[in-house]
Chain A
Amino acid sequence: MGDVGALLDGFATALQPTYLLYALIGVLLGTAVGVLPGIGPAMTVALLLPLTYTLEPTAAFIMFAGIYYGGMYGGSTTSILLNTPGEAASIITCLEGNAMAKAGRGAAALATAAIGSFVAGTIGTVALTLLAPTVADLAVQLGPADYVALMVVAFLTVAAMLGSSPSRGLASLAVGLFLGLVGTDTLTGQQRFTFGVPALADGIDVVIVAVGVFAVGEALYVASRMRHGPIPLVPISGRWMTRSDFRRSWRPWLRGAAVGFPIGTIPAGGADVSTFLSYSLERRVSKHKKEFGHGAIEGVAGPESANNAAAAGVLVPLLTLGLPTSATAAIIIVAFQSYGIQPGPLLFENEAALVWALIASLYVGNVLLLVLNLPLVGMWVKLLQIPRPYLYAGILFFAALGSYSIGASTVDLVLLLCLGLLGWAMRSFGMPIAPAVIGLILGPLAEEQLRRTLAISQGDLTALVSSPFAVAAYSLLVVLFVVGQWIKRREARIENELAAMLAERERVERTATKG
């Protein structure tokens, strides 16, 4: 087990004061953007990509790791304390956690979410530590055709799992693939889709696409349908977890981790799916079934843990195969690329020190998050109260800054606005954003591997399916598709049930306030 030594070396690096500081900045920044509606970890890492020009890789990745985990933590605070339905992934925490907060048990809900995130995040990181080197060893033997298979699987499952319908997910993927085509063909040096604009010869900068569709798109979308009126914050009240809360939480934490991690490792829609599966599992095994929908602590503990374990799971294909299965993971790949590092099976050999420092910093980040989050919850609540006009003006400001600072080019700002309009339209029409980002980043790599495969086979298309691994991957695609559709149907059913419950609760509250 040489890995233990490597991990210890990683800890020796990650625990140096400078790197601890970067980890601290990362988790604080990550939690802040996780708490704030409208910004996510993908956009934050994208905005910070220009830092990779000045920062050395270890520091940058330790910070990105902090942002990645911190973003997961922050989201739960928002959904527990803010009395509005958030994005689909947090509808569960919103339902149970928000109900707990209203019933005067907000502190307990926050605590079980934070501790559960820590427990599951740590379990997930341990699983990553054990699994990743093995997967990397196996992955070294993969040829270009196998990579084509993996990427096809990633493309299709991500596109089919997210969004209102598979066709919309695939359309989003196609848009991303198109954006990835713009620029100079790496193999032949031909310009493609550059419209004679010299600024496009190097392709559209990923920062601009990510910031455009995420940040500018989100700002425009919110502006088009802004929820007016005061921000409906529920004050934190009640005691931190009681003994009975602990008794009811620890099993859901572990079950959440067990559900979340495997879901994270396969390209199946990532964290969202894992929260749904964990919730329905908790509801089925609970002895307090009646409390579900009215603030059952298991309904917060399980899904929040699953969410964080899935975040760790996503790193397995990212680090060992270079395969991103979420938008944030796709942006992290770009960060690697900007250092001239291609994540993949050779990462553990060529960049062992960096990878192990990164993994060690995940453990460190988890501890930091647990230690910081509960005491700092007052600060996060303040953040939640930022008046929305200023929040979204700020998002636009930093989006423009991030794009303009790359090369002080007005063309980039025009592109940013166009991509923002695209992001707005996609949100309005139920097209998921993540497939577009994954298509943009993975598309050029997929094309290269495909052409390499066909060059080796001299145009023989059967080369694509001649290796056992590729065959297995394509078969897995069929399985994932069937399972995925089943999960989606379940998800829709639970979502509808929850929506009905929420509406019912709202109605009761309204009658109560009226009367």
Chain B
Amino acid sequence: MSSASAPGTPAPLVGRPARGRPWGEALFAVGLVALGVFTLVEASGIIVPGSANVMGPQAFPYAVGALLVGTGAAVLLALVRGHRGQAEQGEDVDVSIGTDWVTVGKLIGSFVALIVLVEPLGWPLAATLLFTGAAWSLGAKPWWRPAVIGLVLSLVVQVTFTQLLGVYLPAGLLDGVPSLNG
């Protein structure tokens, strides 16, 4: 926020500086309207059993669909008039900078890796990959440090959950290793 805090013009702490056009937000609002339309269409396809009394299973979905369309349109209208939403504040968030797509992409990639690999590799190894990938994406250095921490964390969780809490987590490749089996 260095550029905005010139003398006399205090930096707005709340809200990001309006930079460019709010395409993302507009897309989100359109998405809300689309979800609403979808809800309305889908609601008309819900089967109403003959036994259903005055208010069947369709009415509430219709109302929700209408609310989605209405609020989505209202947000869109507000955007056209220049009222943008204020990005949420947080201790670790710098609202004055733009979206860092690379980091987010890496983070989502790490999560997708977990989804794809959890069945073939098992929970402990796939979760290690998630932890390592996420920490590395966010800037942990050197890369092997999160890998070691992630592996230890995953194994501790595996033992605690399967042996102490009785919750199933697939051991995958580590199947057969004592005290890891779910």
Contact = CB atoms under 8 A, between A and B. Distances in A.
Contact of B89 (A86, A165, A174): A86
A400 B130 contact: yes
Interface in B83-116: 83-95, 97-101, 103-104, 107-108, 110-112, 114-115
A178 B64 contact: yes
Contact of B112 (A417, A430, A459): A417
Given A86-B91, A225-B100, A390-B149, A495 B14 contact: yes
A225 B154 CA distance: 28
Contacts of A174: 32, 36, 64, 67-68, 71
A397 B131 contact: yes
A225 B123 contact: no
A4 interface: no
A513 interface: no
A499 interface: yes
A370 to B, nearest CB: 24
Nearest to A172: B71
Contacts of A193: 39, 42, 61
Contacts of A447: 60
A225 B39 contact: no
Interface string A403-439: 0110010100110010011001101111100000000
Interface residues of B, number: 96
Contacts of A507: 5, 7, 10
A78 to B, nearest CB: 6
A459 B55 contact: yes
A218 B104 CA distance: 12
A190 B166 CA distance: 34
Contacts of B138: 223, 226, 388-389, 392-393
Contacts of B90: 37-38, 86-87, 218, 221-222
A397 B14 contact: no
B121 interface: no
B85 A431 contact: yes
A458 B53 CA distance: 8
Interface in A182-204: 185, 187-190, 192-193
A506 interface: yes
Contacts of B99: 224-225, 428
Contact of B140 (A390, A420, A424): A390
Contacts of A113: none
A110 interface: no
Interface in B139-158: 139-140, 146, 149-150, 153-154, 157
B47 interface: yes
Contact of A428 (B24, B51, B114, B134): B24
Given A171-B32, A178-B35, A450-B55, A87 B88 contact: yes
Given A84-B91, A171-B75, A429 B131 contact: no
Interface string A382-395: 00000111101110
A181 interface: yes
Nearest to B60: A447
Contacts of B153: 394, 397
Contacts of B111: 216, 396, 400, 413, 417, 420
B169 interface: yes
Nearest to B53: A455
B12 A226 contact: no
Interface in B46-93: 46-49, 51-57, 59-61, 64, 67-68, 70-72, 74-75, 78, 83-93
Contacts of B12: 496, 499
A400 B146 contact: no
A79 to B, nearest CB: 8
22 contacts: A37-B90, A38-B92, A82-B91, A87-B91, A91-B89, A167-B78, A170-B74, A185-B57, A219-B134, A225-B87, A226-B93, A227-B93, A389-B135, A410-B115, A417-B115, A429-B24, A454-B53, A455-B54, A459-B54, A496-B14, A499-B13, A506-B5
Q: Considering the complex of A and B, which 5 residue pairs feature the smallest CB-CB distances, nearest first?
A: A430-B85, A499-B13, A503-B10, A389-B138, A167-B74
Given A177-B67, A225-B98, A496-B12, 10 more contacts: A87-B89, A218-B90, A219-B107, A224-B104, A226-B139, A404-B123, A428-B85, A498-B13, A506-B11, A507-B5
